Amino acid sequence: MASVSVAKARKNYGHLEILHGVDIDIQDGEFVILVGPSGCGKSTLLRMIAGLEEVSGGDISIGGRVVNNVAPKERDIAMVFQSYALYPHMTVEANMGFSLRLAKAPKEEIKARVQEAAQILGLEHLLDRYPRNLSGGQRQRVAMGRAIVRQPQVFLFDEPLSNLDAKLRVQMRSEIKQLHQRLKTTTIYVTHDQIEAMTMADRIVVMRDGYVEQIGTPLDLYDRPANLFVAGFIGSPGMNFIKGKVSSDGPLEFEIDGGVRLPLPDDVSLERGQDAIYGIRPEHLVVRPPGSSARVTLIEPTGAETQITATLGTAQVIATVRDRLALQSGDPISIVPDIAKVHIFDAATGKTLRVF
Ligand SMILES: Nc1ncnc2c1ncn2[C@@H]1O[C@H](COP(=O)(O)OP(=O)(O)O)[C@@H](O)[C@H]1O
Ligand SMILES: [Mg+2]
């Protein structure tokens, strides 16, 4: 196992800069997830760590050694891609042992390591099958098995679950996490799916347009997003963002365009009349029928909870409630934010103004 450090890493394609100086320090044994919208540079960064893309600036280190000019196969890493890229004419056993055969490892050792990986992944009964006779989840497991037999210092995953259906994704998610708990190999995992990131990672790196927006534990990012982008990206349904300004007279409140007022926490320094964005997660809105501050526009029960979409002055918000309220579209209700959970963002920069 090894630590991985990315320092001021840049990537250019011709004149186009894709990564603009990325800094990430990954501890030995950590499970770190790079998450962000499609095209933000996640795969490019992962491929630079793997040695499949040249580094245009800065340094990539594995186990304290700068590897910018070290060939991929000398980096002691194993990568699992979205497309499993199994050899169709080879059995599961041959696929899993391929890299060891290539490295001319002794036959008995290859057999033992493949057996061990197959046992970890529950593939023992499939070793004689060909990839075409496997389900998507089984193929994904073989691709992981191929990485495991190499006993690398670092695992790199690039959207490994994207080709699986929703149910299998959830299952493989917990399998990969358990695998990490068992092997404790440093892992860097790329996904665009924030739920995958939240449920699996020790720490999450949120990227956008070639920049790192924030690094933290899943709950850190959820509770203390540094800016509007992270606040909106993490969580589903997303945080409600309400445009407005700090009241210019009367009690210090937040005034939504159109006149509705919301309470402001007193631990954030704001100017009278200042434009701002009020952020509140759906579960931190308290819904009380009847009332008059808001009007229901949509009710969406999911079973465990119900999502209520409502208009609050000129703003539209989503509230999540666990009680089964007898509400209908058009009903007037009262919606009150839990003031301890209010986020306030600068209207111009999107930076958080309330630091928890
Ligand atoms: N070989 C290339 N030449 C030019 N641009 C590229 C190349 N590969 C990737 N890009 C661009 O780099 C950006 C980041 O791509 P990528 O790392 O694949 O994003 P992600 O994995 O986050 O979806 C994208 O805008 C993509 O079009
Ligand atoms: Mg990608």
Atom 26 (ligand 1) nearest CA: 39
State in Å: Cα 184 to ligand 2 middle: 25
State in Å: Cα 158 to ligand 2 middle: 7
User: Which is more confident, 223 or 290?
Assistant: 223
Q: What is the mean pLDDT of residues 53-72?
A: 97
Decide the pairing of beta strands 154-158 and 77-80. parallel
Atom 16 (ligand 1) nearest CA: 41
40 lines ligand 1 (CB under 6 A): yes
Q: What sign does the dihedral 131-137-140-144 (CA atoms) show?
A: negative
Decide the pairing of beta strands 261-263 and 154-158. unpaired
Q: What pLDDT, in 10s, does the model give residues 249-288?
A: 888 999 998 789 999 998 998 999 999 999 999 999 999 8
Helix H or strand E segment including 99: helix 92-102
The one-letter amino acid code at 245 reads: K
Start-to-end CA span in the chain (Å):
35
Q: What percentage of the chain carries pLDDT values higher than 90?
A: 84
State in Å: Cα 36 to ligand 2 middle: 10
Does 356 score more than 80 pLDDT? no
Name the closest ligand to CA 35. Answer: 1
pLDDT at residue number 284:
97
* Tokens, residue 180: 């990490």
42 lines ligand 1 (CB under 6 A): yes
pLDDT interval class at 337 (50, 70, 90): very high
86 lines ligand 1 (CB under 6 A): no
Q: What pLDDT, in 10s, does the model give residues 7-45?
A: 999 999 999 999 999 999 999 999 999 999 999 999 999
Q: Which atom of ligand 1 is nearest to the CA of 190?
A: 21
41 lines ligand 1 (CB under 6 A): yes
Exposed / middle / buried, residue 61 (Cβ in 10 Å: 0-12, 13-18, 19+): middle
Contacts of residue 256, Cβ cutoff 8 Å, sequence gap at least 6 = 242, 243, 244, 262, 278, 312, 313, 314, 315
pLDDT at residue number 194:
96
Q: What is the mean pLDDT of residues 208-217?
A: 98
* Beta bridge mates, 287: 335
pLDDT at residue number 292:
80
Q: What pLDDT, in 10s, does the model give residues 174-200?
A: 989 999 999 999 999 999 999 999 999
Q: Give the global pTM.
A: 0.94
pLDDT at residue number 257:
83
54 lines ligand 1 (CB under 6 A): no
Supply the mean pLDDT for the chain: 94
Q: Which atom of ligand 1 is nearest to the CA of 41?
A: 17
Query: CA 145 to CA 123: how far, in whole Å?
Result: 9
Query: How many Cα atoms sit within 13 Å of 7 on the Cβ side?
Result: 13
The domains found in the chain, sorted by start residue, are: 4-233 (3.40.50.300), 240-346 (2.40.50.140)
240 lines ligand 1 (CB under 6 A): no
Q: What is the 3-state secondary structure (H, E, C) of 46-94?
A: HHHHHCCCCCCEEEEEECCEECCCCCHHHCCEEEECCCCCCCCCCCHHH
Q: Which atom of ligand 1 is nearest to the CA of 159?
A: 21
pLDDT at residue number 83:
83
* Tokens, residue 307: 């999502």
pLDDT at residue number 49:
98
In the block, tokens 């790329």 appear at: 190
